[in-house]
Structure 1
């Protein structure tokens, strides 16, 4: 069975955050707690699958959350152009994961049906639940649907040999994690099922949540899917770039060979 390369591409970061932004229950709520923003690329011979898109300069300006690399430019060191992306797994439709759908016009989207229903349904009448979404991004997903280029999943599904998706929910109704066969074993790209190692390892929920039980149950699911816990890659933790080796550029990390040092977290 062949294995996939896995690349984590950092396109933005935020340092003006505290631990209260990352954990519902935390004694050190006022301490700084930085966040990195990633998209991920899977590659096997001539096959490529993009996982999430990040967001572009216009969204960065609208939300006052600058990006360091436009998603297209961020992928360039890997020799990838927008037209090369024909398969795009969307872990969920929040702005920082689906804000660049329009940048990849050839892509078929792989999405949980529950996520589309959530982002277009009555829950969006609530400002708090609507906050992480942007209407233009949802409209782009709907346009892709009407052009016949959305594949929906209801729970678990296979995107390609060695690549499966698994509905976790919690943070968003149809949030899905991605399981990938690598030379280090079965790796799980958690996306926002666990923003940080600390969310998962210490069972500390992230504050943006639609269903807390699903989030907590999802931690168990992530552990069951991975060959071992060190192969669960959180969606926003700066520690990822410290424990995995640098890839072909300083904003890219190579994940598929596994971490190069012990993962240690402090609360």
Structure 2
């Protein structure tokens, strides 16, 4: 299986806000986890910001959905930005459930603890209105301190759901547009992930809560997500075309 790693740039009211900061460079990932890939690290993130006419210093806030290695690295690029994370997630990173120890890296924890509070680190407890039009929903599920970022746009509320259903198939498991293997038994429900700190019932409630507070969901690791919102706006892809998760990359899996 292969997944893209997405970070989101949210702009409004003169602010540039990054949702998740991505993962380190592939050589380090390969060394630690024996996972291959391309990109990652400072060069990829700097290049993506440059494409939007920005430098790392232009980012005022970095909102971390959770602290797994593929979502919360590269924080050293943003020493003066305010990192926003659930207090429960920082505690989970320090003392994770055993099955998630491999996903929390000490470098991220060290960066957060060394930051000045509250100017460089904002720890929130539960739901939080960060700015007008940007709401954080606390949804323990994938991790104990998981949060989803709800962004109000001209077309509606977009939920950057991260790994609370990181592909469209988790949100639309009975829809043939979202998955090549639709499951009728999951009509009206969701497909929950295998990496979790909470129960399946907790996860189902969390996903239902996000649906109730948003108009569309944007998964973290689906190849088909819209690149620009609200210019591109859809609740579900038109088909499974472009869903490359199980398609070997050029040269095959390693």
TM-score, length basis structure 1: 0.75
Deviations 1:86-145 (A, max 9, x none): 211011100011011112111111111110111112x35x2x221111111111111125
| 1:216 and 2:211 are equivalent in the alignment | no
Q: Is the 8 A contact 2:160 2:219 kept in 1?
A: yes
Which one of the candidate residues 221, 232, 237 is aligned to 1:236? Answer: 221
C-alpha change, 1:262 and 1:209, in structure 2 (3 Å) is: closer
Match of 1:25 in 2: none
1:60 is aligned to: 29
Change (3 A) 1:56 1:185: same
- Bigger fraction of residues in helix: 1
Query: Structure 2: how far apart are the matches of 1:261 and 1:53?
Result: 25
In angstroms, what is the RMSD of aligned CA positions? Answer: 2.2
Residues in 1 aligned to 2:234 and 2:94: alpha-carbon distance in whole angstroms: 42
Gaps of 5+ in 1: 1-16, 18-33, 245-252
In the alignment, structure 2 segments of 5+ residues that lack a partner are 174-189, 244-254
What's the CA shift for 1:176? 0.4
Pair 1:169–1:260, CA change in 2 (3 A): closer
Cα gap change, 1:145/1:265 in structure 2, threshold over 3 Å: closer, same or farther?
Answer: farther
After TM superposition, the score normalised by the length of structure 2 is: 0.79
| 2:174 counterpart of 1:206 | no
Pairs within 5 Å for 1:53-92: 53-57=21-25, 59-62=28-31, 63=33, 64-69=35-40, 70-92=44-66
The answer (yes or no) to whether the contact 2:130–2:136 under 8 Å persists in 1 is: yes
Distance 1:183 1:101, change over 3 A: same
CA spacing shift, 1:120–1:262, aligned 2, 3 Å: closer
Distance 1:261 1:40 in 2: 18
How many residues get paired?
218
Relative contact order higher in (CA < 8 Å, ≥ 6 apart): 1
- Contact map agreement 1:109 1:149 (CA 8 A) in 2: yes
How many Å apart are 1:68 and its aligned residue?
A: 2.4
Match of 1:163? Answer: 134
Distance in 1 separating the partners of 2:141 and 2:237: 25
Residue 23 of structure 1 corresponds to: none
Cα gap change, 1:110/1:258 in structure 2, threshold over 3 Å: closer, same or farther?
A: same
Distance 2:106 2:125 in 1: 23
Once residues 14 and 80 of structure 2 are traced to their aligned partners in structure 1, the CA distance between those partners, rounded to angstroms, is 16
1:167/1:65 CA distance change after superposition, 3 Å: farther
Deviation at 1:65, TM superposition (A): 3.7
Q: Which residue of 2 aligns with 1:42?
A: 10
SS in 2 for 1:98: coil
Give distance in 1, aligned partners of 2:10 and 2:218. 14
